[in-house]
A and B are shown apart, each in its own frame.
Chain A
Amino acid sequence: MRLDATLVLAAFVATSAGAAGGEGCPEDAAWPAEDWPTAVEAVRAARPAEVKSLERYAFTLDGLDAARRGIRTDGLVIVHRGLVTFERYGRGFGPGTRHLGWSVSKSVTSALAGVAVARGVLRLGDSICRYLAAPQERCGITVRHLLEWTSGLDWTESYEGQAHQASSVLAMLYGVGRRDMAGFVLAQGARDAPGARWSYSSGDSLLLAAVAGRAMAAAGAGPGWPWTELFDPLGMRSAVLERDAAGTLVGSSHFYATPRDMARFGWLFLEDGCWRGRRILPAGWVRQATEVSPPLRAGSPPPAPDAVPGRQWWLNRPATKRGRSAPWPGVPEDAYAARGHWGQAIVVIPSLQMVIVRVGDDRDEGALGFARLLRLAIAAGKLP
């Protein structure tokens, strides 16, 4: 415990707001320095039963690895009030190993769009045709539609294990669309008028990355802008974001980082889009990102019982005021998450000052009880 306390004192850098561009930033926030300070041993000593329950649930493999069954956690990191309170890895992964985020990438892309908005080079109300060479009939789609998954483009979001030739996302990433993914998305037909209906689409997220990239490039930013403007200021030195052969960021799917660096990304949102007193995302961006998507608020049903979307984030809130309960029972209703295929998640819980990162390889998609994992993690990861 003494060691932990020393680390905390040594590693923490207290910052105050008031730095240039720090409008409305939290004043009493603390940030990780070179690395997250840790209180793992102190928490384990204080809550041995809760820590054991979490470990047993998340890290018990079901049968042979080759069978790909059950819950297969590669890493689990909990940060509470700025300290790592739980950290464990499995299946050959470690603190220095990057993990594929899959659709966690979408929430990262939303932040890249936020950076471009903060720079004044991207406006949510603008037609995508302001930034992209799109067919005239697609010019009714705005940047906001992409952010809210309401472009109206005809899209089938299905993965392995389903009819491959029906899958728009597989065609985009690995099939006919792979060389120019933005061009592929723009060539899809329209199913709804833009803004009319919510539909989960990696195509919308990919176009959002394309639009943000074109807007930044037009303003003179080099191809390294996601790093210089977002990942580097946060100290996410492991961050990788791949491109297609046409140079578009694969912002729907191919973001990688270590779980510790994913926690930094979560912490940016927990601190209202600020880092060390500097505003990275526009004021109000995080609040708007975590509001229920407008078509759902208007009454159209959510896509699945545990999926209530915000702007490229998933929320633990009822979709409508009179609607069903929050999707993750027993978890604070202000929780929201970046979530990806095979069980990737960055969960932000502002009311608890907690970020939970879980990476895994769950090929058996129904195996992990997401709310159960979060309840166990919250119980095990609180500072004494």
Chain B
Amino acid sequence: MRKRAKPVAAAAAVLAAIVVAPLAALGVVPGLKGRYANGDPELAVAYRAKETCSCLWVLEREEAYCRAWTEASPDVARVEVDAAGRIVRARALVLWTAQARFVDARSGCVLE
């Protein structure tokens, strides 16, 4: 048992170093850095989904421009564009997702 415990503890420590510390640094742990329970990954996916949607179908700029224009720090969000459905989805670190949809020519995009 003892022999097994050490690798487990070591693995936990490594896991903590790889996963928990960066998450803490990103502000994922609520209340750690400020007053609102929204960490950087949540803000990043919502910001990129909404602003990419508006960039594509309100500004009517090309996708490459919109990807660069909405790039934010920390750059954790991955963006998928559904051009046919006029929907933008953004994901970060498995857990966080957001989706924005183009509504119409007056109301632009909405975060769902």
Contacts and interface: CB of A to CB of B under 8 A. Distances in A.
Interface of A: 65-66, 92, 97-100, 156, 160-161, 163-168, 170-171, 173-176, 178-179, 224, 227, 239-245, 254, 256, 361
Interface stretch (B2-10, B11-19, B80-88, B100-108): B100-108
A167 B36 contact: yes
Interface string B64-88: 0100110011000000000000000
Given A98-B60, A171-B36, A179-B111, A256 B54 contact: yes
Contacts of B91: none
A164 B27 contact: yes
Contact of A256 (B42, B46, B59): B59
Contact of A174 (B35, B47, B58, B60): B47
Nearest to A223: B107
A8 B60 CA distance: 30
Nearest to B48: A174
Interface of B: 27, 32-40, 42-43, 46-47, 50, 54, 58-62, 65, 68-69, 72-73, 103, 105-112
A270 B15 CA distance: 62
B111 A178 contact: yes
A99 B65 CA distance: 13
Nearest to B37: A176
Contacts of A168: 36
Contact of B60 (A97, A166, A243): A97
A161 to B, nearest CB: 8
Given A92-B65, A98-B59, A242 B110 contact: yes
Contacts of B34: 163-167
A142 B104 CA distance: 33
11 contacts: A100-B58, A100-B59, A163-B27, A164-B27, A165-B32, A165-B34, A166-B33, A174-B50, A242-B107, A243-B103, A256-B59
Q: Which 9 A-B pairs have the closest CB atoms?
A: A165-B34, A175-B38, A166-B34, A174-B46, A171-B36, A242-B108, A240-B108, A165-B33, A174-B47
Contacts of A160: 72-73
A295 B36 CA distance: 29
B108 A256 contact: yes
A243 B107 contact: yes
Contacts of A254: 54, 108
A176 B36 contact: yes
Given A224-B106, A242-B109, A176 B58 contact: no
Contact of B58 (A92, A98, A165, A166): A98
Given A163-B33, A164-B43, A244 B110 contact: yes
